[in-house]
Structure 1
Amino acid sequence: MAEIDLSKVLDKAWADKSLPEIMAAPVAALKGVSDRQGDLLQEAFGIKTVADLASLKYARWAQALADLDTAK
């Protein structure tokens, strides 16, 4: 199982929350994502939560392509 330092990827207010709470959090809970950027993600892709962002097929496709590129 992958480990991650939550304080490096989440805003301070979210770093001590449970994983289910984090997945249900607005994308602005991610460090570096503003409320405005969260609004734009919702407008463009219907993304409301961290879970929605994680399941966005376009992001998954892009990650798969990046993985292939680094595997060469």
Structure 2
Amino acid sequence: MASIDLDTVLDKAWADKTLPEILGAPVGALKGVSDRDGELLKEAFGVTTVAQLAEVKYVRWAQALAALGAAE
């Protein structure tokens, strides 16, 4: 199972939360994502939570393309 340094990817207020809490958190819980960014993600993709952001098909497509590029 992959591990991740939560202090690196989460706003300080969310670093000690459980994974279910983090997945249900607003996207602003991610370090570097502002409230305005969250508003724009909601407008563009209907995304309001970290879990929903992970499921955006465009995000998945970009990740797949990046993985293909790294494999070359």
Q: Which residue number corresponds to residue 58 of structure 2?
A: 58
Structure 2: segments with no counterpart, 5+ residues: none
User: Once the 2 structures are TM-superposed, how far is the Cα of residue 25 of structure 1 from its aligned partner?
Assistant: 0.1
1:6-56 deviation per Cα after TM superposition (whole angstroms, max 9, x unaligned): 011000000000000000000000000000000000000000000000011
Aligned residue pair count: 72
CA distance in 2, matches of 1:3, 1:66: 20
* Residue 58 of structure 1: how far off its partner (Å): 0.6
Question: Counterpart in 2 of 1:8?
Answer: 8
Question: Which sections of structure 1, spanning at least 5 residues, go unmatched?
Answer: none
TM-score, normalized by length of structure 2? Answer: 0.99
CA deviation after TM superposition for structure 1 residue 61, in Å:
0.4
Letter of the 1:19 counterpart: L
The aligned residue for residue 17 of structure 2 is: 17
Residue matched to 1:30: 30
Q: Percent identity?
A: 72
Task: State the secondary structure of the residue aligned to 2:17.
Answer: coil
Q: Which runs of 4+ in 1 moved over 4 A?
A: none
**Secondary structure in 2 matching 1:32:** coil
Q: TM-score, normalised by structure 1?
A: 0.99
